[in-house]
Structure 1
Amino acid sequence: MEAEHNSKLRSEEDGGSVDKAIHATADGHADVVSATERAHLKQGLEQRHLSMIALAGSIGTGLFLSLGGSIQTGGPLGALLGYAVVGAIVCAVQFALGEVSALLPVTGSFVRHADYLIDPAWGFAVGWNLVYGNVLSIPSEISAICVLFQFWTDINSSLWIMIFIALTFAIGVVFVRAYGEVEFAFASLKLLTIIFLIIFGLVTNLGGIPGVERIGFRYWNTPGPFVEYIGTGPWGRLLGFWSVMTSAVYSFAGCESLAMAAAETRNPGRTIPRACKRVFFRIVLFYMLAVLVVGMLVASDDDRLNDYSGTAAQSPFVIAVSAAGYSAVGSVINAIVITSAWSSSNQALLSGTRVLYALALKRQAPRFFLRTTSWGIPIYCVLFFTAFMFLSFMTLSSGALTVFYWFVSLTAAGTLVSWSTVLLNHIRLKTALRRQSISASELPWNNGWTLYSSYVALVMCLVILFTGGFSVFTAGRWNANSFVSSYLDIPLVIAFFVGWKVIKKTKWVKLEDLPLREAIEQARERAQQAEMEQEAEDALKGDRRWLKFISWIWD
């Protein structure tokens, strides 16, 4: 109560300057980092937190649980190619996000960037779409946790739902640095698990375990590298490969949230680009190796991959370990995957609450969402998302894995909209620089090839978005639930955009009028100040060269 009272006092005392800052920021004529963010949010996240949070959010249930379905419908090579294509899109998204966020490090990241670079109506639409996506993402992870616990016990899922709602809420209300440290630990555990699984899988595959014969690429020959899905021949194999896309997008979802708490990050002009660049390579490395190894260990026609199993026993990692005679290791993996799912729900909570805070900052959400605790947490945003966590109880009336896959489709569509916005923001920024005769080299971070990769990735995102539910349009496969979960997001975003544009009569941002020169100067000033603070902090910490043995993961 005391924290809330202090927060209320700060909001009232700073009311006039807050209003002014919000208005000026939305119009693009003042420092994009508003007075509200400076006054109420705490800069508790460092580069190691950002890098590991992005890894923690992306290496979760999508990789551990839904990869089996990808191999089943696309085959080992089809799944590998599908994840490779989406991984290339992620590369473009990460670099685009890093370049724009280094210049405009604001809470809400690309949602606020859309206001500044495209149209306030699009910022409103993609912001609420992201809130909606994270509202669904958290219960999807909790649904996955229920699936994973069913691997061990038949205890009613309501117990696990209540426990993890309480734990997720607790993490959401602590100081953001404490959240960063928790996620840092979880991400480290997940990375160690992935490395272990890749090494164990290769040893098993090559016959390194006594009593287990060498497999090699046997399953690539029989039943084959591709699976015919819906159709036959080359067309069926193409559809099998394309069916992997939605699961791959869901698996990579979360990497775009890296800069969501930019205003709570130290020296964002340096840390965000470095984290974007390094996180991409680590995600792709771990994903590609994991998909390759699992495709070598598990046949695409293995009955245990069927969704109706209803437990984590259908996870390809558990299948591979159990086949080698190490069933106890399967339980250990299951426990780590549970922490992964919880970690992903924490990441979704951080992303969603900061977007909602950013919407309130822009007067596109109720003002009470701006209230923060004395330690800088937007408390009403956290309470809002906590209320929707109870959607997890849907698993009690339907199969937990069925509900999980509903959420996969719903979340994947929202992720593609977010990625498209990141890419469009980047294209608009580069176009505005050209029209104002400002060299792109003046940006805090710039890469000459990224404009072209953003165009290609944007086209790919839109194609995957509109074809994600293609199977429901084929003969005899119509399913209302699948259609809604695949395409509901598109009319929602359009309705948000058109509705706000009509009500507020917003206009497309004129690229010639963007105050880019001022933004670049402000970025330089922030970088100089941050460098001075970092040097002073490093001097106090002393020699820590021993950390270099492990810091390559995040630094």
Structure 2
Amino acid sequence: MTSSDAKRPAAVNHVLARDTSSSPNGAGHDADGFADNLTTATSTRNLFSPVHPDHDGDLVTTAEDRDLKRGLAQRHLSMLGIAGSIGTGLFLGLGVAVQKGGPLGSLLGYAVIGLIVCSVQFALGETAALLPVTGSFVRHAEFLVDPAWGFAIGWNLVYGNVLSIPSEITAICVLFQFWTDINPSVFIVVFIVITVAVGLAFIRVFGEVEFVFALLKIWLVVFLIVLGLVINLGGVPGTERIGFRYWRDPGPFVEYIAAGDWGKFLGFWAVMTGAVFSFAGVESLAMAAAETKNPRRSIPRACKRVFARIVIFYMLAVFVVGLLVPSNDPRLSGSGDSVAQSPFVIAASAAGIPAIASVVNAIVITSAWSASNQSLLAGTRVLYGLALKGQAPKIFLRTTSWGTPYMCVLFFACFMLLSFMSLSQGAMTVFWWLVSLTAAGVLVSWSSILLNHVRLRQAMKRQNIDVSRLPWYNSWTVYTSPVALFMCIVILFTAGFGVFTEGNWDAATFVSSYLDIPIVLIAYLGYKFYAKTKIISLDDVPLADAFEQAEQQIDEPEGKEPGWIRLVSWIWD
């Protein structure tokens, strides 16, 4: 038995030995270097049948252990979460938050969502440390809640990521128009090619790309916060000190839709619903758990550190923006997709530093491409996980010799061509309507993560399993997860409250806020009827096998960060 075999649970070694013995080369890869997951034992199954019998793919399966490669370290996961959540929402969208809620209202709104994100991250960390599977909370939902629920949120994520990649590429084309009039189709082709190239590369390549992008974003955020404070305090020659002037006039809160205290509350609530989408992406760091080194240690550490860094950056940024720009500044109006609307650019231009606009634009372009890379990673791994469960065609289980699910990547590459719809105004309108269908998917995903954790703790209590057996746990999460779940559901159903007020009906806002709810419910009920699934009894959740697998896993030793990386390692470690 090799050292790698010794690290696997006994049950996995047994199945692995059985599978590889039936494969001509014993490794599951064909002569072309691509993984051939269609073993002799499963070749006669129908198109949607599960390939491996390990609890029908609930635990870490033979396919994941054999065909995927563990190339992501804890620093990659931490920076993956940071890169996914620091983007246009922070660089361009904070002005919209200040306009709706005022400087204090926006600060409070982001603080509340920050606490919810904390609950989501800790719930995800506890569950993923026990079940470090590809597809993360989608597979957790099938294990802990109902296979039909996992099917529904899984395909909802696939659909959302299929559309988000071309939408990000389209945003890149718009951002490049800030500098040049070159035909947008050139940028579309270039970014499709490099996105597919990163998607097909070894997972470590993706990790390093996102690592660099996250560092760029963090440096820019720190720079903009410091610059904002310098401008506010009158440190730029020729500018006067602003201080808390805009907190006094036009005031700390903004009346939104209604008047008086009720209007100020609605302004705060509008900020909170919008802040959810600014934090979107923090949940993606566990999607490639089966491709992560020491996942039972790395994922919890990443979840804890990502939360702290992101909340600090966002809270400081929101606070500084509230100092720099008055909430009634007309330049803040819009959807937050233009560099000219960035409150940092507005303040810097007023201080005589117009070059900041180009700097912000450049980083936002990298943010958009980073977001497309993350959507590709999350979408392909969810699709792979669905195929493991027999809920997607088994062709999506095929991997390259270096462990990339290449058929999943090629599937997503086909839909990247939708970005060419941006060249037609009419087609673009249809495209953005398609994108808006899954705008509420963030709250659905967060709700599922929290529900998974609630069910895990309930099942452990029912089966008399002590919480100390979890690879990672916190005493307070048994209380924070139900509260955060309730808040996510409330925010989900009130996200588009403005369209129901007199004179504010907007079909696009209604669709983006609510249509994802019936889509998920129809998928859930449809699969439940088709597959005749049942909500899993707390007594029947196979926790004993999950804990046995977790306790048999041996972590690899961690080395110190090399060279210059050690100087900035405090960001993720």
Which residue number in structure 2 is paired with residue 183 of structure 1?
A: 210
Distance in 1 between residues matched to 2:244 and 2:329, nearest whole Å: 15
Letter of the 1:534 counterpart = P
How has the CA–CA distance of structure 1 residues 246 and 405 changed in structure 2, closer, same or farther, with 3 Å as cutoff? farther
Distance apart, 1:193 and its partner CA:
0.6
187-196 or 60-69, which deviates more: 60-69
Deviations 1:407-450 (A, max 9, x none): 88545410100000000000000001111111111100010100
Report SS of the residue matched to 1:511: coil
Counterpart mapping for 1:8-23 below 5 A? 9-12=36-39, 15=42, 22-23=52-53
Which of 192, 198, 208 aligns to 1:165? It is: 192
Distance apart, 1:267 and its partner CA:
0.6
Deviations 1:505-551 (A, max 9, x none): 0011111122212211211211xx22xx326xx4xx7x959754321
Which of 537, 551, 554 aligns to 2:569? It is: 551
Which residue number in structure 1 is paired with residue 473 of structure 2?
A: 446
Deviations 1:226-257 (A, max 9, x none): 22221111121111111123321111111011
Distance in 2 between residues matched to 1:149 and 1:345, nearest whole Å: 16
Distance in 2 between residues matched to 1:139 and 1:228, nearest whole Å: 36
Report SS of the residue matched to 2:257: coil
Unaligned runs of 5+ in 2: 1-28
Distance apart, 1:184 and its partner CA:
0.6
Contact kept? 2:151, 2:527, Cα under 8 Å: yes
Distance in 1 between residues matched to 2:321 and 2:30, nearest whole Å: 49
Distance in 1 between residues matched to 2:77 and 2:370, nearest whole Å: 14
Counterpart mapping for 1:41-56 below 5 A? 41-56=68-83
Distance in 2 between residues matched to 1:42 and 1:308, nearest whole Å: 41
Counterpart mapping for 1:311-350 below 5 A? 311-350=338-377
Deviations 1:118-161 (A, max 9, x none): 00000000101111221232233223323322322344433333
Contact kept? 2:50, 2:387, Cα under 8 Å: no
Which residue number in structure 2 is paired with residue 119 of structure 1?
A: 146
Distance apart, 1:457 and its partner CA:
0.5
320-329 or 436-445, which deviates more: 320-329
Report SS of the residue matched to 1:482: helix
Letter of the 1:387 counterpart = C
Contact kept? 1:144, 1:404, Cα under 8 Å: no
How has the CA–CA distance of structure 1 residues 319 and 394 changed in structure 2, closer, same or farther, with 3 Å as cutoff? farther
Which of 489, 494, 506 aligns to 2:533? It is: 506
Contact kept? 1:207, 1:213, Cα under 8 Å: yes
How has the CA–CA distance of structure 1 residues 153 and 298 changed in structure 2, closer, same or farther, with 3 Å as cutoff? farther
Letter of the 1:303 counterpart = P
Which residue number in structure 1 is paired with residue 394 of structure 2?
A: 367
Which residue number in structure 2 is paired with residue 429 of structure 1?
A: 456
Report SS of the residue matched to 2:571: coil
Which residue number in structure 2 is paired with residue 534 of structure 1?
A: 557
Distance in 1 between residues matched to 2:237 and 2:490, nearest whole Å: 47
Which residue number in structure 1 is paired with residue 10 of structure 2?
A: none
296-305 or 421-430, which deviates more: 296-305
How has the CA–CA distance of structure 1 residues 301 and 161 changed in structure 2, closer, same or farther, with 3 Å as cutoff? farther
Letter of the 1:25 counterpart = H
Which residue number in structure 1 is paired with residue 514 of structure 2?
A: 487
Which residue number in structure 2 is paired with residue 65 of structure 1?
A: 92
Report SS of the residue matched to 2:38: helix
Which residue number in structure 1 is paired with residue 20 of structure 2?
A: none
Contact kept? 2:255, 2:264, Cα under 8 Å: yes
Which residue number in structure 1 is paired with residue 5 of structure 2?
A: none
Report SS of the residue matched to 1:552: helix
Contact kept? 2:102, 2:252, Cα under 8 Å: yes
How has the CA–CA distance of structure 1 residues 289 and 220 changed in structure 2, closer, same or farther, with 3 Å as cutoff? same
Unaligned runs of 5+ in 1: none
Matched, 1:261 2:288: yes
How has the CA–CA distance of structure 1 residues 401 and 273 changed in structure 2, closer, same or farther, with 3 Å as cutoff? farther
297-306 or 390-399, which deviates more: 390-399
TM-score of the pair, normalised by structure 1: 0.92
Letter of the 2:568 counterpart = I
Distance in 2 between residues matched to 1:180 and 1:420, nearest whole Å: 27
Counterpart mapping for 1:278-297 below 5 A? 278-297=305-324
Contact kept? 2:256, 2:263, Cα under 8 Å: yes
Contact kept? 1:26, 1:116, Cα under 8 Å: no
Counterpart mapping for 1:381-530 below 5 A? 381-398=408-425, 410-526=437-553, 529-530=554-555
Distance apart, 1:116 and its partner CA:
0.4
Letter of the 2:557 counterpart = Q
Which of 167, 189, 193 aligns to 1:140? It is: 167
Distance in 1 between residues matched to 2:433 and 2:87, nearest whole Å: 17
Contact kept? 2:109, 2:272, Cα under 8 Å: yes
By percentage of residues, which structure has more helix?
A: 1
Matched, 1:220 2:247: yes
Distance in 2 between residues matched to 1:360 and 1:66, nearest whole Å: 37
Letter of the 2:55 counterpart = T
Contact kept? 1:4, 1:372, Cα under 8 Å: no
Contact kept? 1:105, 1:262, Cα under 8 Å: yes
Report SS of the residue matched to 2:34: helix
Letter of the 1:318 counterpart = V
Counterpart mapping for 1:20-99 below 5 A? 22-26=52-56, 32-99=59-126
Contact kept? 1:423, 1:458, Cα under 8 Å: yes
Deviations 1:16-36 (A, max 9, x none): 7997763433375xxx11011
Distance in 2 between residues matched to 1:246 and 1:403, nearest whole Å: 25
Alignment RMSD, CA only? Answer: 2.5
Contact kept? 2:384, 2:408, Cα under 8 Å: yes
Contact kept? 2:109, 2:269, Cα under 8 Å: yes
Distance apart, 1:82 and its partner CA:
1.4
The percentage of aligned residue pairs carrying the same residue is 65
Distance in 1 between residues matched to 2:433 and 2:86, nearest whole Å: 19
425-434 or 220-229, which deviates more: 220-229
Contact kept? 1:169, 1:386, Cα under 8 Å: yes
Distance in 1 between residues matched to 2:461 and 2:51, nearest whole Å: 28
Deviations 1:373-399 (A, max 9, x none): 111111121122222223334444459
Distance apart, 1:466 and its partner CA:
0.6
Which residue number in structure 1 is paired with residue 8 of structure 2?
A: none
Distance in 2 between residues matched to 1:294 and 1:393, nearest whole Å: 35
Distance in 2 between residues matched to 1:131 and 1:57, nearest whole Å: 17
Deviations 1:459-512 (A, max 9, x none): 110011111111111111112222112111000000000000000000111111
Distance in 1 between residues matched to 2:369 and 2:428, nearest whole Å: 16
392-401 or 297-306, which deviates more: 392-401
Matched, 1:150 2:177: yes
Report SS of the residue matched to 2:535: coil
Report SS of the residue matched to 2:440: helix
Report SS of the residue matched to 1:363: coil
Which of 125, 129, 142 aligns to 2:156? It is: 129
Distance in 2 between residues matched to 1:446 and 1:310, nearest whole Å: 39
Distance in 1 between residues matched to 2:390 and 2:193, nearest whole Å: 30
